[in-house]
């Protein structure tokens, strides 16, 4: 039964504000390890971070370490440090991208729709925002129909139909138990205020640091560094043209912008969702993965690619350093020395 956050009569009232998935994972981990709920939640995050790294190794082989530098971004550190469902959600977002990619590779595999359907269900059970990926699968079915790929149409439609029936059943149950399909009666007022779309987008593309924090020399330095890398990236795209964008990178970038578009539209229509770097994390992570996929080539085809790759590695090291709790580490070291 989906229970909600503490409130009046909390022991009696079940709420549907959050789907059951993440809390259930914490519960299972806590039960099996004997850890408190808080530490079990951190362990769940580390398990899913590990699964993401394994998935990247499966997908990218030798270049996985470079693409995995995505996870030294500010958004990633925040998400995996907090008790937030975005960590496991990100794993399933990347898994969905992998499964869609495999659908091109192995279109004859009859089990693809089962994996796709399971992934859609997992996304929904972790966050209601996972519902947007049903639209993506529907869109892919239409695209395959347009391309006369009937096998693809069949796989996507089967996954979409079964996932829709199961998710619909869950939502009806939610309504019967709590009186609200998505727990809309308990919307936080902060989510209803004015939203600075520009700032949210800026924070989403800011790799090393959130852009609403204190504006010091580090902030300006890291912003300038990222700006130079972005300019170099566009120079690379201009020089190499379409051949620099592989199937993989196109898929990741398309998924990133699809998520950005649907979440922004939802925010305009519904208002009742938070709209910050946390909500934008699937966009940020898919965008960074897509960009790093473009520049991850083993044999650099151009000098710009080599400069960009080396520059990004240095930038990632900076990101790690500024995102570490440096004061805490210094105080621990001082205590050890004196």
Partner 1 sequence: MLKLDLYKPDIHLIKLVLLWFVVVACVFLRVISQPDRYTSPDSYAYLHKAEKISDHQEG
189 binds partner 1 (CB under 8 A): no
Give 5 or 221: the residue with its C-beta nearer to partner 1.
5
* Member of 35, 77, 211, 254 binding partner 1 (CB under 8 A): 77
253 binds partner 1 (CB under 8 A): no
State the minimum distance, in angstroms, from the CB of residue 326 to partner 1.
Answer: 9
CA 74 to chain centre: 13
Alpha-carbon distance of 22 to 87, in angstroms, equals 10
* Member of 48, 59, 68, 207 binding partner 1 (CB under 8 A): 68
**306 near 236, Cβ under 8 Å?**
no
Show Cβ contacts of residue 165 under 8 Å, excluding neighbours closer than 6 positions.
none
Long-range contacts of 259-264 (CB under 8 A, 24+ apart): 259/93, 259/132, 259/283, 259/286, 260/201, 260/204, 262/132, 262/135, 263/129, 263/132, 264/197
Task: Tell me which residues in 35-64 interact with partner 1 (CB under 8 A).
Answer: 37-38, 40-42, 45-46, 49-50, 53-54, 56-58, 61-64
Closest residue by Cα to residue 200 from 84, 283, 256: 283
Give 72 or 121: the residue with its C-beta nearer to partner 1.
72
H or E element at residue 289: helix 281-295
Give 265 or 310: the residue with its C-beta nearer to partner 1.
310
Alpha-carbon distance of 22 to 271, in angstroms, equals 24
Q: What is the dihedral of CA 64, 66, 68, 70, to 10 degrees?
A: -150
Task: Tell me which residues in 254-293 interact with partner 1 (CB under 8 A).
Answer: none
Give 20 or 114: the residue with its C-beta nearer to partner 1.
20
129 binds partner 1 (CB under 8 A): no
State the minimum distance, in angstroms, from the CB of residue 14 to partner 1.
Answer: 9
142 binds partner 1 (CB under 8 A): no
Give 41 or 144: the residue with its C-beta nearer to partner 1.
41
Per-residue DSSP letter, 300: -
Give 31 or 215: the residue with its C-beta nearer to partner 1.
31
State the minimum distance, in angstroms, from the CB of residue 268 to partner 1.
Answer: 23
* Member of 8, 9, 12, 22 binding partner 1 (CB under 8 A): 22
State the minimum distance, in angstroms, from the CB of residue 90 to partner 1.
Answer: 13
**78 near 277, Cβ under 8 Å?**
yes
325 binds partner 1 (CB under 8 A): yes
3-state secondary structure of 297: coil
Long-range contacts of 257-260 (CB under 8 A, 24+ apart): 257/283, 258/132, 258/136, 258/139, 259/93, 259/132, 259/283, 259/286, 260/201, 260/204
Query: Contact residues for partner 1 (CB under 8 A)?
Result: 1-6, 17-18, 20, 22-24, 26-27, 30-31, 37-38, 40-42, 45-46, 49-50, 53-54, 56-58, 61-65, 68-69, 71-72, 76-77, 80-85, 320, 323-325, 327-329
């Amino acid at each position: 039964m989906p229970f909600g956050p503490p409130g009046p009569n909390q022991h009696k009232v079940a709420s549907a504000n959050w789907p059951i998935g993440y809390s259930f994972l914490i519960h299972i981990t806590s039960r099996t390890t004997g850890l408190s709920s808080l530490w079990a939640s951190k362990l769940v995050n580390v398990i899913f971070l590990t699964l993401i790294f394994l998935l990247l190794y499966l997908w990218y082989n030798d270049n996985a370490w470079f693409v995995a530098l995505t996870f030294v971004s500010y958004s990633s550190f925040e998400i995996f440090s907090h008790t937030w469902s975005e960590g496991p959600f990100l794993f399933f977002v990347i898994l969905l991208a992998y499964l869609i990619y495999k659908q091109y590779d192995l279109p004859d595999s009859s089990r693809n729709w089962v994996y796709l359907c399971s992934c859609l269900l997992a996304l929904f059970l972790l966050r209601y925002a996972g519902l947007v990926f049903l639209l993506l699968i529907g869109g892919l079915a239409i695209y395959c129909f347009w391309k006369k790929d009937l096998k693809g149409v069949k796989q996507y439609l089967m996954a979409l139909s079964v996932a829709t029936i199961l998710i619909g059943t869950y939502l009806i149950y939610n309504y019967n138990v709590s009186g609200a399909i998505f727990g809309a009666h308990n919307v936080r007022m902060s989510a209803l205020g004015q939203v600075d779309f520009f700032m949210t987008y800026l924070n989403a593309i800011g790799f090393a640091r959130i852009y609403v924090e204190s504006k010091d020399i580090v902030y300006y330095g890291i912003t300038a560094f990222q700006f130079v890398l972005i300019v170099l990236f566009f120079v690379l795209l201009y020089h190499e043209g379409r051949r620099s964008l592989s199937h993989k990178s196109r898929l990741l970038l398309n998924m990133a912008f699809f998520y950005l578009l649907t979440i922004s539209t939802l925010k305009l229509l519904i208002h009742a969702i938070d709209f910050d770097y946390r909500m934008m994390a699937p966009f940020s992570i898919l965008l960074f993965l897509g960009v790093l996929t473009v520049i991850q080539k083993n044999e650099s085809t151009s000098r710009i690619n080599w400069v960009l790759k080396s520059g990004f590695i240095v930038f990632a090291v900076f990101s790690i350093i500024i995102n570490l709790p440096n004061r805490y580490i210094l105080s621990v070291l001082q205590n050890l020395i004196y």
